[in-house]
Amino acid sequence: MRTPWPLLPSLLVGCGFGLGPNTPDGLLWAYTDTAADADADTDADSDADADADLVDPEIDSVDPDRGSTDGGLEVVLYGQFNDDASVRVGGVEAEIKSVQPVRGELHFYTPEAGEAGVVNIVLDSNDETAKLTDGFTYYTEGAGLPGMVGSLEWVEMVGDYWDTPTDKGTAFFYPIMPAEFEWGLVYAPGVDDCSSDDSSDTYDYAPSLTAYELGSGSRASLDAAGKTIDFSWDNTYGFYNGNVVASEFAAGATYDLTEFDPANTDEVSSFTMTDLVRTPASFTVNVPNITGAAPPLVSRTMSIAWSGGAAADGVFVILGLVNSAGDAFQETVTCHVEDDGAFNVPSDAFKTSWPVNRQLNIQISRYKLASGTIPYDSSESAVIGQYTVFGAGFTK
């Protein structure tokens, strides 16, 4: 039935209209729709047999526009559609939570995806479709796995025997598809164990990590207690890379990722996170005495001891035996040890000869592991913080 409306008497003269016997005095009512023209459909218009309020589907945006391959993420589609609307994500039908045509909001849950990547979103409504090309990005679920790998290291040069001893810092990090990775295994196959780069049974830990390719102009910033380190993307090496000066480094601190802008890429989103990297406190190497005026004499089965500062998560020992020409390393031994203050280098750690009066570079690095979570895929930070004491000795 059409909605009644009042008409002036002058408009009704000669048209067969008049006061009905039961109408209030002075109020005239319009013609009533016939039974043949009655509204028989289910849409919202008052004379819906004309379907005047049906709209062609359109997608303005979706939020959020990325999520885990596990699916189940609630997403809001903004646009126009009718009550019968449905959604496909990457060709798979999505579970609808609510359809609100008047508000222009359709809430749905993402379906599970077989692999990570960018997919289209298709909106079906009133036998028409609308497509948002590359509208959603699936990430591999990363809970419990590293999703950012790197290192922030401060190197303290000790001993008066260096020509130009200069403390310095370096840092690098990059986002990866979540994968198994353990920093300790980079140095040795186990705790309180060593490996050599010159051996028939050389330990070779090369995890399969897939890095996201970020574009030129990508930027990132770390901040700890007012100390800020700014990075730009290094296209040559494929990671954020830079030197760190004393005014930017804080020992025993936690650095947050306050800016992460992966320009020119759809592979990973911008985000911030707390606890990207933690740095150990400064400490002292007591044995061998590498802090004196002359390098100490060291044996093949040397003892190492250190003290000071809060305990770290572990220690890396790197021993580089310089070759006879003095321009490269004859052999490098790396050890991963507990931070219990002392370690004895095994007698079989060095696989080559042990010449007398050869320079041996000695690096003792305490390290800390962070626990920050990357928001878009729930993966964890594997950016390691290191404080390294660097000295040298001569073999005996």
Q: Is 164 exposed, middle or buried (0-12, 13-18, 19+ CB in 10 A)?
A: exposed
What per-residue confidence (pLDDT) applies to 267? 74
Looking at per-residue pLDDT, the higher value among 269 and 340 belongs to: 340
Which token pair is 92? Answer: 């798979």
Q: What is the pLDDT of residues 29-70, one digit of tens each?
A: 333 343 444 444 444 444 444 455 799 999 999 999 988 898
Q: Read off the DSSP letter of residue 27.
A: -
Q: Which CATH number fits domain 58-139: 3.20.20.370, 3.50.50.60, 3.10.20.30, 2.60.40.10?
A: 2.60.40.10
The whole-number average pLDDT for the span 149-165 is 95
Whole-number Å distance between alpha carbons of 41 and 13: 36
What per-residue confidence (pLDDT) applies to 59? 98
Q: Is 31 exposed, middle or buried (0-12, 13-18, 19+ CB in 10 A)?
A: exposed
Q: What is the pLDDT of residues 112-148, one digit of tens each?
A: 999 888 999 999 999 999 999 999 989 888 999 999 9
Amino acid at residue number 176: I
When pLDDT is cut at 50, 70 and 90, the band that residue 204 belongs to is: confident
pLDDT at 177 over 70: yes
Query: What ranges do the domains of the chain cover?
Result: 58-139, 142-207+273-396
What per-residue confidence (pLDDT) applies to 201? 67
Residue from 259, 210, 209, 268 nearest 232 by CA: 259
Q: What is the pLDDT of residues 330-377, one digit of tens each?
A: 999 999 999 999 999 999 999 999 999 999 999 999 999 999 999 888
Backbone phi and psi for residue 146, each to the nearest 5 degrees, phi listed first? -65, 140
pTM above 0.85, yes or no: no
Which token pair is 77? Answer: 């589609």
Whole-number Å distance between alpha carbons of 74 and 97: 8
Task: Answer left, alpha or beta for residue 251, where phi above 0 means left and psi between -120 and 50 means alpha.
Answer: beta
8 A C-beta contact, residue 317 and residue 345: yes
Least confident of 18-22, 71-75, 209-213: 18-22
